[in-house]
Amino acid sequence: MITRPLDLATRLRPAPRSFDYLFWINGVIIALFFTFFGSRFVLSPGMGIGRVEEILPPIHNAVQGAVPTQLTVAVTEAGLLYIDTGFVSFGQFREWLAAEAKRTPGAALLVRLNLKNPASLLAQITSAAEELGLKVQLAGVETSEDLTDAATVR
């Protein structure tokens, strides 16, 4: 061993008796930290997109009209509904909405609609949510001068 020529082994402190309980306490604290303070939004799996303005509708005063929402539904370009449990059909979406409305009465539903979706789909989602007493908030991008000009060109 490399400590033998200099006799370094005699100058080292003795090993602690037992710190096994400290290892388990640290493990439990770390597990509790990630359980209570972890977030599914920190590192979300997905595919990167270019510009949000090309997907979400531009809304004038979107930031001033912002409200906290408890429920979220994202609608893909193809019209598929995505909730926190995954992709669902419209019937499954209505069942999920009914269960969530019972669990959190008066909640707000955030609808992330793609610009290429028809308005009838938004009307169906809105009517289904309002029948159950949920408020509906449409996700959008705050308009600016450049964005307003780009939206009118399309």
Mean pLDDT of 119-124: 88
User: Tell me: the pLDDT tens digits for 17-71?
Assistant: 666 778 888 888 888 887 777 655 555 455 454 455 456 666 666 666 677 788 8
Question: Which has more confidence, 35 or 148?
Answer: 35
For the ranges 12-16, 17-21, 80-84, the lowest mean pLDDT is seen at 17-21
Q: How far is CA 28 from the centre of its chain?
A: 26
For the ranges 10-14, 28-32, 61-65, 136-140, the lowest mean pLDDT is seen at 61-65
CATH class of the 52-153 domain in this structure: alpha beta
Assess whether pLDDT exceeds 60 at residue 74. Answer: yes
Q: Domain residues of the chain, as ranges?
A: 52-153
- pLDDT confidence of 95, banded at 50, 70, 90? very high
* Complete DSSP assignment for 15-54: PPS--HHHHHHHHHHHHHHHHHH--TTTS------S-GGG
Strand partners, 142: 59
C-alpha to C-alpha distance for 93 and 128, rounded to whole angstroms: 9
CA angle 141/144/150 to nearest 5° reads: 85
